[in-house]
Amino acid sequence: MGGIGMRVSNLLMPTLRELPAEAEVVSHQLLLRAGFIRKAAAGVYTLLPLAWRVIRKIEQIIREEMDRQGGQELMMPIIQPAELWHESGRWDVYGPELFRLKDRHGRDFCLGPTHEEIITALIRGEINSYKQLPLLLYQIQNKYRDERRPRFGLLRGREFIMKDLYSFDRDEAGLDISYNKMFEAYTNVFRRCGLRFRPVVADSGAIGGSDTHEFAVLAESGEATILYCENDECGYAANEERAEAVASTSTGNMAPLEMKKISTPDCRTIEEVALFLKLPPEKMIKTMIYSTEKETVAAMVRGDREINEVKLYNALGCIRLDLADEETVLRVTGAPAGFAGPVNLKGVKLVADREVMTLANAVCGANENDYHLVNVNPGRDFKPDIIADIRLVKAGEPCPVCGAGLHEAKGIEVGQIFKLGDKYSKALGATFLDENGKARPFIMGCYGIGVTRTMAAAVEQNHDERGIKWPVQIAPYHVIVVPVSTKDKDQVNAAEEIYQNLVTGGVETVIDDRPERAGVKFKDADLVGYPIRITVGAKGLAEGKVELYSRLEEQTMMVPLGDVVNAVKSKLRELAAG
């Protein structure tokens, strides 16, 4: 892990006083300002020495935890032949996110966004027997995705460092074991990185598979919304996309009344209709018209709820899902948007949220301009093709496991673990022989950690107005020694001695030997975010003491010269213990 001592006068650490205009989120701003990264192209960055040290520390923690679970590290090609992607079917499915290129002979290749194809093809050729399983293989390397819109600096780049582990088991039971190992490994990795995080139940997206968890670093700027149970014993936590709604019971056991059409001029939104009819939104059925690649769909949720498009997408099993345009709405409902309803709606697949089915004498659009239907009773007045949980769950709703309240938080997804099953092994014909000499596809799992994203997430979670506050475990250096004045020989000598002693003592240390004024050096130290600063000044030195400043705690203490190394080490242990 590189040298553990460094002089700031030699360090490539180009700090900026002013904020680069291109940076919006805190991690991007601070990593640029503190001299960690520089942009080469949109979503493509050079990692300067300080950033690279952080990355290598994160990688090292990951390696240790992967190895502890029996993982073996290997290196796979970034350039991958189209052939394999044709075999898995993903050359066409992956879409424009796949960076594609041709060699001089016109053969197609891509830059690997992930390595299921490569590793499955490798295993197909090399592993033949159940006796060789399970197998856990991982890589830490650059991956590529041609994001439509790279943004947020390192949080969503087109080139990024990723750890991916792939597990190969003989059956589902084996996969469960591998999956649990990785769950434990990930928990250890993020804890050791000093991050506050939560594993959450997630949607498996296009990769398919049954179980999947995301690991979300809690931060206000996070793109993911997660819901978690207020009851710690329960521990339920899920991505908003996946958070299960508790099926509510009937809102009333009223006798069904006769359905009637009533005039509701200019009432297009639930709020307008509610106001006009003097009825609460939860008595209404919100009907949204969607288009998929194969059909038009009417999705219904209770008036006070919102549709969860991920759940709807899963319920429909479609590839594409978009809100229908104005023309389509007019064509299928015969009315402008705002008056759609499920009653007598022809040629459209009806999908109702489970909760809708509990409504009695409800209100919905009449599929006619300026009219709504009242006393609508699901089952009697319309029959959905699909009844499923398709709504968004909000904070305050009951936990689907224990019934306590759900809380909401924002998170940055830094890792995700998937059970793939035989999806890729079947597609690529990767099989082994079991005890009975029967060929069976490998049962696979894949487990990713965004390494560069983890670094950015750490900054999002650990900073203040002055700069970064690195958790000790992943700080680029632990200590910066700052002589207040480089003109004062005593200060310089004392600082140099402390620096040497720290380095000799195994503490990763830099010394700010630049002939700058104290303020400049302090500002840079705060910006870069060294956990500990040792300030050597005239006043303290007169008493044989220096100042130890803890960036994380924002506390200072005076330490006798002879005790510096021990004081630093014990403070670092204390900080690392959290």
Which chain residues interact with RNA by CB under 7 A? 15-22, 24-25, 33, 39, 41-43, 97, 113-114, 143, 145, 147-152, 156, 162, 164, 205-207, 223, 309, 321-322, 416, 418, 446-448, 466, 484-488, 515-520, 522-524, 526-527, 535-540, 547, 549, 556
What's the min distance (Å) between Cβ of 535 and RNA?
A: 4
Q: Which residues pair with 448 in a beta bridge?
A: 164, 416
Amino acid (1-letter code) at residue 416: Q
Contacts of 530 (CB under 8 A, 6+ apart): 470, 475, 476, 477, 478, 479, 480, 510, 551
Identify which of residues 34 and 458 has a Cβ nearer to RNA in the complex: 34
What's the min distance (Å) between Cβ of 547 and RNA?
A: 5
Calpha distance 462→453 (Å, rounded): 14
Identify which of residues 237 and 559 has a Cβ nearer to RNA in the complex: 559
Sheet holding 260-263, edge to edge: 260-263, 371-376, 362-365
What's the min distance (Å) between Cβ of 369 and RNA?
A: 27
Identify which of residues 150 and 384 has a Cβ nearer to RNA in the complex: 150
Identify which of residues 301 and 364 has a Cβ nearer to RNA in the complex: 301
Query: Is the separation of the CB atoms in 364 and 376 below 8 Å?
Result: yes
Please give the structure tokens belonging to residue 183. 């769950």
What's the min distance (Å) between Cβ of 255 and RNA?
A: 41
What's the min distance (Å) between Cβ of 541 and RNA?
A: 8
CB burial of residue 204 (10 Å; 0-12, 13-18, 19+)? middle
Identify which of residues 464 and 578 has a Cβ nearer to RNA in the complex: 464
Pairing mode, strands 108-111 and 100-102: antiparallel
With left for phi above 0 and alpha for psi between -120 and 50, is residue 309 left, alpha or beta? alpha
Backbone angles phi, psi at 545, to 5 degrees: -130, 155
Residue 96 to residues 43, 87, 90, 99, 482, Cα–Cα distance (Å): 16, 18, 11, 7, 50
Calpha distance 363→263 (Å, rounded): 12
Identify which of residues 97 and 271 has a Cβ nearer to RNA in the complex: 97
What's the min distance (Å) between Cβ of 491 and RNA?
A: 8
Please give the structure tokens belonging to residue 363. 């209100």
What's the min distance (Å) between Cβ of 388 and RNA?
A: 18
Spell out the SS3 assignment of 313-354.
HHHHCCCCEEECCHHHHHHHHCCCCCCCCCCCCCCCEEEEEH
What's the min distance (Å) between Cβ of 28 and RNA?
A: 7
Query: What is the SS3 assignment for 288?
Result: strand
Q: Which residues pair with 39 in a beta bridge?
A: 45
Q: Verify cis geometry, omega within 30 degrees of 0, for the bond prior to 134.
A: yes
Placement of tokens 């609460």 in the chain: 280
Calpha distance 514→560 (Å, rounded): 24
What's the min distance (Å) between Cβ of 506 and RNA?
A: 25
What's the min distance (Å) between Cβ of 209 and RNA?
A: 8
What's the min distance (Å) between Cβ of 460 and RNA?
A: 14
CB burial of residue 498 (10 Å; 0-12, 13-18, 19+)? buried
Pairing mode, strands 159-169 and 443-450: antiparallel
Contacts of 223 (CB under 8 A, 6+ apart): 155, 410, 412, 413
Identify which of residues 112 and 384 has a Cβ nearer to RNA in the complex: 112
Pairing mode, strands 479-483 and 509-511: parallel
Spell out the SS3 assignment of 210-230.
CCEEEEEEECCCCCEEEEEEC
Treating both helix axes as pointing N-terminal to C-terminal, what angle do 489-504 and 564-577 enclose, rounded to 10 degrees? Answer: 50
Identify which of residues 230 and 516 has a Cβ nearer to RNA in the complex: 516
What's the min distance (Å) between Cβ of 232 and RNA?
A: 29
Among 351, 346, 376, smallest CA distance to 284 is for 376
What's the min distance (Å) between Cβ of 245 and RNA?
A: 20
Identify which of residues 374 and 475 has a Cβ nearer to RNA in the complex: 475
Calpha distance 135→216 (Å, rounded): 27
Identify which of residues 279 and 337 has a Cβ nearer to RNA in the complex: 337
Identify which of residues 139 and 377 has a Cβ nearer to RNA in the complex: 139
Identify which of residues 88 and 333 has a Cβ nearer to RNA in the complex: 88
Identify which of residues 19 and 433 has a Cβ nearer to RNA in the complex: 19
What's the min distance (Å) between Cβ of 247 and RNA?
A: 26
